[in-house]
Amino acid sequence: MEGNIKLMREDGLRLDGRSLNEMRPIKIQTGVVERADGSAFIEWGANKIIVAVYVREAYPKHAQNIDRAIVKARYNMSGYSVEERKRPGPDRRTMEISKVVSEALSSAIVLEKLPRAEIDVFIQVLEADAGTRIASLTASSVAVADAGVPMRDLVVGCTAGKADGKIVLDLSKDEDNFGQADIPMAILPRTGKVVLLQLDGDVTEEEFNEATSMMMDAMPRISELQRNALMSKYSIEDGE
Ligand code: ADP
């Protein structure tokens, strides 16, 4: 990350015209993959991500947990999802994102209700434009709920960071590339429990607090989109 590229306009807005605490537009849909037990599609700015969830008995048998389910999220970027063709296959970043998403989802799922099960969460990034781990997690949570898996809460996340020395919400690709910090965070909104928090770059304690409070303010709006996505599916089915 570099700090000497201009990311703020003269009028105090960001390069894409957003104010400091403005999110990119978000759309969430459920039931997009017929064959999956649950699925979701999220558009978050220019990010486009599909999540398909399958619930089955864990195999081989020795991999089962006799008293609870195992959650396996697999994050995958399509070759055409980024400017330069992404080399196929898992790399360190892909494995890291799969791990943090699996762990965050595990905190929300009532694992004891599904002993011996494996919950497979396939995340396919069709287009990436910064913030994919959080967009993936936010959509995965909806897809898992869509699969009828018992959950304590819907995990919701967003990012904040530092660009041109200012704390901003929901980093754009330029802000992610050329800003001074990137802080993705996810919570369980009912309890406020933090289930994912990463920091790339450097911020002061005061800036960190400003970033987290900006994110906490934005979370309820994203949660509402998640709930609406789940409810609109059921209301259409009820009307049939
Ligand atoms: P996140 O997507 O959660 O912000 P990163 O900060 O690691 O995760 O990545 C930031 C952005 O960089 C991604 O959203 C994507 O647009 C881009 N990116 C990530 N990996 C690659 C890659 N292998 N090739 C090109 N661009 C990539």
pTM (predicted TM-score)? 0.96
Pocket test for ligand 1, best of 44, 176, 200 (most atoms within 8 A of CB): 176
Position 3 pLDDT exceeds 60? no
Q: Are 144 and 119 in contact (CB under 8 A)?
A: yes
- Alpha carbon of 239 to ligand 1 centroid (Å): 41
Q: Which CATH architecture has domain 26-239?
A: 2-Layer Sandwich (3.30)
Pocket test for ligand 1, best of 84, 94, 132 (most atoms within 8 A of CB): 132
Q: Are 138 and 24 in contact (CB under 8 A)?
A: no
Tell me the CA distances in angstroms from 41 to 44, 115, 117, 200, 203, one per residue in order. 10, 28, 24, 27, 33
- Alpha carbon of 130 to ligand 1 centroid (Å): 6
Nearest alpha carbon, ligand 1 atom 9: 130
Per-domain residue ranges for the chain? 26-239
User: Which residue ranges have their beta carbon within 6 Å of ligand 1?
Assistant: 82, 84, 86, 93, 128-133, 173, 176, 182, 184
The neighbour count for residue 132, using CB atoms within 10 Å, is 23
97/58 Cα distance (integer angstroms): 22
Locate the ligand 1 atom nearest the alpha carbon of residue 47 and give its number: 14
Give the single-character DSSP code of 17: S
Place 47 in a pLDDT band, splitting at 50, 70 and 90: very high
28/139 Cα distance (integer angstroms): 7
- In this predicted complex, what is the ipTM? 0.98
Place 238 in a pLDDT band, splitting at 50, 70 and 90: low
Position 235 pLDDT exceeds 70? no
Position 240 pLDDT exceeds 60? no
Place 108 in a pLDDT band, splitting at 50, 70 and 90: very high
Question: Over the stretch 115-124, which tens digit does the pLDDT of each residue have?
Answer: 999 999 999 9
Question: Over the stretch 144-199, which tens digit does the pLDDT of each residue have?
Answer: 999 999 999 999 999 999 999 999 999 999 999 999 999 999 999 999 999 999 99
Locate the ligand 1 atom nearest the alpha carbon of residue 87 and give its number: 23
Pairing mode, strands 47-57 and 70-77: unpaired
Question: Over the stretch 7-41, which tens digit does the pLDDT of each residue have?
Answer: 999 999 999 999 999 999 999 999 999 999 999 99
- Alpha carbon of 176 to ligand 1 centroid (Å): 9
- Alpha carbon of 172 to ligand 1 centroid (Å): 11
DSSP string, 113-161: GSTTEEEEEEEEEEE--S-HHHHHHHHHHHHHHHTT--BSS--EEEEEE
